[in-house]
Every structure is written in structure tokens, then in C-alpha cells.
Amino acid sequence: MFSKLISGLSGSTPAKDTDVDFPTAMAVVMVRLSRTDDTYSASEAACIDQVLVDRFALSIDDASQIRQSAEQAEAIGHDTFKYTQIIKQSVPIEDRLSVMADLWKIVLADGSRDVDESTLMRLIAGLLGVKDRDSALARQSVARAG
């Protein structure tokens, strides 16, 4: 009943969590981060592909397909909670810092970080159960490596 109310208000039918796998959920969150500053550069798309290749041992073509599907899903709606819950269910708490590092790679891929990206990262960290301090350490690690 609640999902019908939500779909009625939003004009769309929410997808079930089982409709989206972990790589796709990760890609949607990364695309959302990339688009938060109202720009979505080729370097950000390439970075998303590379994170998918590295994290999930995919070919670059498979990673690109997942990213393109994620771009479509993200354009339809901004359900950050749904996608972070899929990530949270897929990754044990002790491994979520690596997820945060991957997300920071996307934020920093264009060479700048704006306040909206930082705000969204703080929200994502909270939804994943990662402390702000740990997220900041992951960001610093990515910035040093970058």
C-alpha cells in the first residue's frame, strides 16, 4: 500500500530491490555523484568504468554497459536510499571504506569537489553506516593516490 502511495505521488512505479544487482547499484550512485555538480564529463564516465572493472573484475565493455544502464536509471529518479541499501546489503561494514574510496574517486575525477558533491557523499556515508571521519580518511587517501 505504501509503495502504491509513493508511486502515485511520484508518477512512477518503484523497482524492487531484487531488480538491481550490486554492480548496477554502485554504478547508479557513481553516476548520481558525477551529475551532482551539473556536469558529467568524459573523465567521470571513464572513471566509473574503471572502478567497475577493478571492483567487479569486468571487461571494459561490460562496465560501460552497466554504466550506460545506470545513467538511464539515474535519469529516471534519484533514489539514493534504495541504491545505497543494495550496496549496504552486499558489502560487510569492514569493507565499506573501499566503497567510499571508490565513490571519492568519482567525485575527484574532474579535478574539483563542490559543496553539493560533499553533501551527497556525507549522506551516502551515513546511509552506508560509515562515519564522517572514515569517509574523510578515504577521500584523503584517494586524493594522495590521485
User: Residue 48 has which C-alpha cell?
Assistant: 566509473
Q: Give per-residue pLDDT as tens, 77-109.
A: 878 999 999 999 999 999 999 999 999 999 999
Predicted pLDDT at 15:
40
Q: How far is it, in rounded angstroms, from Cα 60 to Cα 110? A: 20
Q: Which residues of the chain have pLDDT under 50?
A: 1-17
The full set of domains in the chain, from first to last, is 20-145 (1.10.3680.10)
Question: Could you say which DSSP state residue 21 is in?
Answer: -
Predicted pLDDT at 113:
87
Q: What is the pTM for the complete model shown?
A: 0.85
Please list, residue by residue across 15-31, b when 16 or more beta carbons sit within 10 angstroms of its beta carbon and e when fewer do.
eeeeebeebbbbbbbbb
Predicted pLDDT at 140:
95
Predicted pLDDT at 39:
87
Q: In this structure, is the dihedral angle defined by the CA atoms of residues 30, 53, 60 and 22, taken in order, positive or negative?
A: negative
User: Count of CB atoms within 10 A of residue 82's CB?
Assistant: 17
